[in-house]
C-alpha cells in the first residue's frame, strides 16, 4: 500500500546527473505534489477524527465542565502536552517501529501519514478545546436546566456555536501538516520534501529546491485563503 504514491526515482536520478530541464522537472514536481496532497489530506482526516473528540473530552472534563473528571482531564492533558512538546523530527524517528507495525514499512507516503497524524492531533485537540471555551456558557447551562445531558450540550450548543473557530483551527492545522509532510522526506516519506532533499539538497540542484519551495508556499497560501473565506462565510451566515 505504501508504494501506491512512491514513484520510481531511477529515471529522475538520471535526469539530475545530465542536467535537469523544465521538461525533466515537471513530472517529478507533479508526482511530488500529488504525494504531498495525499499525505496532507489523509493525515488531516485522521487528525480531525482523533483530535476533535479528544479536545471535546478535555473541555467537558474540566472541574467546571459538563462532566467534571479532574483526574482524567489531568492525565489526558499531560499526554497532549507531551505530544506537543516533542520536536516533529524526533517524533518521526521515534515512531519508526510503530509505523512499521501498522503499515508494514517505513517508506512511502502512506507510512508517513502515521507520524504526521500522531504529531498533529495533540495540537488540534488543544485548538478544539480553546474553540469550545469561546462558546457562551449560558447556552450550555440552559440546555442542562431543561434536562439535557452532556451529549445534548455538545451537539446542540458547543460544536454548532464553535464551528467557525473549529474551521479556522482546521485551516491552521492543515497548514502545519504541509510543513510536517515536507519534514517526512527526511525518512523517505515521499512528497515535495523528499524531492527537495534527494534532488535539491543532496545534489546541489537549486532549480529543484526553488521549485519545491514555490509549490509549498503556493499550497500554504491556497489552503489559508480558502479556509479564511469559508470561515468568513460561515460567520456571516451565523
Query: Is domain 26-236 classified as CATH 1.10.3720.10?
Result: yes
Examine the pLDDT at 74 and tell me if it is beyond 90: yes
Q: Which long-range contacts (CB under 8 A, 24 or more apart) does 62-71 make?
A: 66/140, 66/144, 66/150, 66/153, 66/154, 67/150
Query: Cell numbers at residue 113, please?
Result: 501519514
- Spell out the domain ranges in the chain: 26-236
Examine the pLDDT at 3 and tell me if it is beyond 80: no
Query: Cell numbers at residue 236, please?
Result: 456571516
Q: What is the pLDDT of residues 91-132, one digit of tens each?
A: 888 998 999 999 988 888 898 999 999 999 999 999 999 999
Contact predicate 193/37, CB 8 Å: no
Q: What is the pLDDT of residues 147-163, one digit of tens each?
A: 777 788 888 888 888 89
Q: What is the pLDDT of residues 129-148, one digit of tens each?
A: 999 988 877 777 777 777 77
* Distance (Å, whole) CA 91 – CA 86: 7
Query: Cell numbers at residue 190, please?
Result: 515521499
- Choose among 51, 182, 189: nearest CA to 126: 51
pLDDT of residue 201: 72
Amino acid at each position: 500500500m505504501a508504494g501506491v504514491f512512491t514513484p520510481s526515482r531511477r529515471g529522475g536520478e538520471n535526469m539530475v546527473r545530465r542536467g535537469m530541464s523544465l521538461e525533466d522537472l515537471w513530472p517529478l514536481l507533479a508526482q511530488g505534489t500529488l504525494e504531498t496532497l495525499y499525505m496532507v489530506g489523509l493525515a488531516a482526516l485522521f487528525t480531525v477524527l482523533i483530535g476533535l473528540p479528544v479536545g471535546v473530552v478535555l473541555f467537558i472534563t474540566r472541574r467546571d465542565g459538563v462532566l467534571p473528571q479532574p483526574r482524567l482531564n489531568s492525565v489526558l492533558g499531560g499526554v497532549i502536552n507531551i505530544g506537543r512538546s516533542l520536536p516533529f523530527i524526533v517524533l518521526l524517528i521515534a515512531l519508526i517501529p510503530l509505523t512499521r507495525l501498522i503499515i508494514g514499512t517505513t517508506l512511502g507516503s502512506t507510512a508517513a501519514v502515521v507520524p504526521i497524524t500522531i504529531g498533529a492531533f495533540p495540537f488540534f485537540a488543544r485548538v478544539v478545546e480553546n474553540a469550545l471555551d469561546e462558546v457562551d456558557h449560558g447556552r450550555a447551562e440552559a440546555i442542562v436546566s431543561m434536562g439535557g445531558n452532556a451529549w445534548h450540550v455538545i451537539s446542540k450548543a458547543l460544536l454548532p456555536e464553535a464551528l467557525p473557530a473549529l474551521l479556522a483551527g482546521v485551516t491552521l492545522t492543515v497548514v502545519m501538516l504541509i510543513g510536517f509532510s515536507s519534514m517526512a522526506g527526511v525518512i523517505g516519506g515521499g512528497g515535495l520534501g523528499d524531492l527537495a532533499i534527494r534532488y535539491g539538497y543532496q545534489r546541489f540542484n537549486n532549480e529543484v529546491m526553488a521549485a519545491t519551495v514555490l509549490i509549498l508556499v503556493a499550497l500554504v497560501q491556497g489552503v489559508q485563503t480558502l479556509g479564511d473565506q469559508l470561515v468568513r462565510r460561515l460567520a456571516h451566515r451565523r
